Amino acid sequence: MKLRTLLGIVAIAGALSACAIGRSETHNTSSLVDFLYPDHRAPPPQNAIPELRVPLRVGLAFLPSQASFGDNQLDAAHKAELLERIRRHFADRHFVSDIVVIPDYYLGANRGFAGLEGVQRLYNVDVMALVSYDQVNYTEDNKWSLGYLTIVGAYIVKGTINDTTTLVDLAVVDPKTRSLVLRAGGTDTHHQNSTRVDTQHNERLAGNASFDAATNQMIGNFEGALTAFENDVHAGRANVHVVSRSSPSGGGGSLGWEFVGLLALACLCRAAYQPTASPSLR
């Protein structure tokens, strides 16, 4: 009788504990605004016009994580993989001479535009392409699993809902004029079910998969924003000066490669069709 009573108490306690819905949340983020303005002041109005000397040397880096709780953080190997994916996609642009991947620990020591200018000089780049992110992973036991966790066991019954939402943002910044040249972002929401014992492992897999999907969407969106930006430059609507790297700095207009080619062609045509003088009579 005592054994049966003890087993009954254990069973009731297990059932009551199973009825409690477990919840957990992890949050990892790096903020572009918090990095560029660590004093929490509002960004000033953009008055200076950046000068882009093509072809550009671009520094590409993840912003260091600035706020996180939980175990699912973006590790260094995955960051390097995502940066390489971005670098390969945009490296063949005709106005880009090189894209240099910069480790994020160079940005962790000195935040703000002053620190960014130091990295710019160290790597001899013209602009910085900064990748920031925000990811939230939310896990809770679903109601369907409550009646079975204490009987069958969490190894068998899929009893956990896992939702992961990710934002990845790419911003091109000119540290010298402290101007934002171009930006685009991508988002992803990842849903899955998991057994309780596999929750932590599956959260990590879901977080990585969501980062991959958000990065792919960001690359596509940035491709579209870059095409629109190029059209605005050619039409004179962009708030930048584009000059050839071989031309002297300064001047108020923009000078693209197409303009240089047309000017050279016009000079050749003028020389070819210039009339020759008649020979003089002796």
Each of the 282 residues of the chain gets a pLDDT tens digit; together they read 554 554 454 444 444 444 444 567 788 888 888 888 887 776 666 668 899 999 999 999 999 887 555 556 788 999 999 999 999 999 999 899 999 999 998 998 788 998 999 999 999 999 999 999 999 888 776 654 444 444 444 444 445 677 888 999 999 999 999 999 999 999 998 887 665 556 677 778 888 999 999 999 999 999 999 999 999 998 988 889 888 887 654 443 344 444 444 444 444 444 444 444 443 333
Q: How much is the pLDDT for 47?
A: 66
Q: Between vectors from CA 154 to CA 2 and to CA 211, what angle results, nearest 5°?
A: 155
Q: Which of 86, 100, 112 is nearest to 168 (CA)?
A: 86
Q: How far apart are CA 44 and CA 48, in angstroms?
A: 11
Q: Has residue 63 been placed in a domain?
A: yes
Taking the model in full, what pTM does it have?
Answer: 0.73
The radius of gyration computed from the CA coordinates of the chain, to the nearest angstrom, equals: 29
Q: Per the structure, how many domains does the chain have?
A: 1
Q: How far apart are CA 47 and CA 112, in angstroms?
A: 18
Q: Has residue 170 been placed in a domain?
A: yes
Give the Å distances, CA to CA, from 203 to 154, 188, 213.
16, 15, 15
SS3 for 138? strand
Phi first, then psi, for residue 68 (nearest 5°) are -160, 150
Phi first, then psi, for residue 247 (nearest 5°) are -90, 155
Q: Has residue 3 been placed in a domain?
A: no
Q: Read off the amino acid at residue 164.
A: T
Q: Read off the amino acid at residue 48.
A: A
Query: β-strand 127-141 against 56-62: which pairing, if any?
Result: parallel
**Do the Cβ atoms of 171 and 130 come closer than 8 Å?**
yes
CB-facing half-sphere around the CA of 231: CA atoms within 13 A:
6
Q: Which of 129, 136, 108, 182 is nearest to 23 (CA)?
A: 136
Q: Read off the amino acid at residue 122.
A: L
Q: How much is the pLDDT for 44?
A: 66
Q: Has residue 41 been placed in a domain?
A: yes
Q: Has residue 277 been placed in a domain?
A: no
Partners of 179 in the β-ladder: 174
Q: How much is the pLDDT for 68?
A: 58
What torsion, rounded to 10 degrees, do the Cα atoms 114, 118, 119, 122 define?
170
Q: How much is the pLDDT for 100?
A: 97
Q: How much is the pLDDT for 70?
A: 57
**Domain residue limits at 88:** 16-271
Residue 55: cis peptide before it, omega within 30 degrees of 0: yes
Q: How much is the pLDDT for 239?
A: 87
Environment class of 82 (CB within 10 Å of its CB; exposed 0-12, middle 13-18, buried 19+):
buried
SS3 for 111? coil
Q: Has residue 282 been placed in a domain?
A: no
